[in-house]
């Protein structure tokens, strides 16, 4: 899927920039370095203590518990720091994520149809169970977005409405059209 370069504001610092990702280069670089450093601390805590208790690691390293759980989950999936759920050949969709401080940005690519909307729902539920309260969903790579996709994003929005935030950034033309037809674009698109 090709990304369209558009002018937008960084959701972290508010700076205007031209890109396909939801954050400016400076914020992306800063948080990538922070995430790498946090992962090194988590790995060091595991190798020294041999423990894999996320709460204990969080206390020792002062890294938010949801970030520790994210890293440990990805490590158990034998993936360095980006979780991929699904296989394009099997489900028609891939999902990956990137941590930006207290926010996590999930990038979905492929199709959100009746067969694989549950994959996206399961992924979002796992994130909320890990403690993520601020989720950004990048849907630029979505070529098809069904009513099942609407259900998934609306459920996530309602779940996080009181305790955090959920919004869609960088929607593909298809996603923007579908959400516009059901009057959810103003509520979900940022």
Within a domain: 54: yes
Q: What's the whole-number average pLDDT of the chain? A: 83
Closest CA to 71 of 52, 50, 85, 87: 52
| CATH code, domain carrying 15 | 3.30.750.24
Residue identified by tokens 């549950």 is 118
65: in domain: yes
Domain limits for position 166: 6-188
Alpha carbon distance 71, 63 (integer Å):
11
Q: What pLDDT digit, counting tens, does each position of 27-69 carry?
A: 888 888 888 898 888 888 888 767 688 998 888 888 899 999 9
pLDDT in tens, 157-174: 999 999 999 999 888 999
Q: What percent of the chain has pLDDT over 90?
A: 41
Does 155 have pLDDT greater than 80? yes
Identify whether 35 is part of a domain.
Answer: yes
Count of domains observed in the chain? 1
Residue from 74, 75, 58 nearest 66 by CA: 58
Domain-embedded: residue 1: no
Evaluate whether residue 81 is within a structural domain. Answer: yes
- Global pTM reads 0.78
Helical H segments across 50-87, by residue range: 54-61, 65-76
H/E segment holding residue 164 = none
């Amino acid at each position: 899927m090709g990304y369209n370069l558009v002018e937008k504001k960084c959701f972290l610092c508010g700076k205007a920039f031209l890109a396909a990702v939801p954050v400016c280069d400076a914020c992306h670089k800063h948080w990538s370095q922070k995430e790498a450093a946090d992962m090194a601390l988590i790995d060091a805590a595991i190798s020294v203590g041999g423990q894999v208790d996320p709460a204990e690691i969080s206390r020792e390293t002062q890294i938010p518990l949801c970030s520790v759980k994210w890293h440990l989950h990805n490590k158990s999936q034998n993936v360095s720091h980006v979780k991929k759920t699904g296989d394009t050949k099997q489900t028609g969709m891939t999902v990956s994520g990137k941590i930006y401080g207290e926010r996590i940005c999930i990038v979905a690519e492929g199709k959100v149809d009746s067969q694989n909307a549950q994959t996206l729902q399961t992924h979002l539920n796992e994130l909320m169970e890990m403690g993520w309260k601020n989720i950004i969903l990048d849907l630029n790579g979505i070529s098809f977005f069904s009513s099942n996709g609407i259900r998934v994003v609306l459920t996530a929005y309602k779940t996080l409405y009181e305790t955090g935030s959920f919004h869609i950034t960088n929607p593909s033309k298809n996603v923007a059209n579908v959400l516009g037809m059901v009057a959810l674009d103003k509520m979900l698109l940022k």
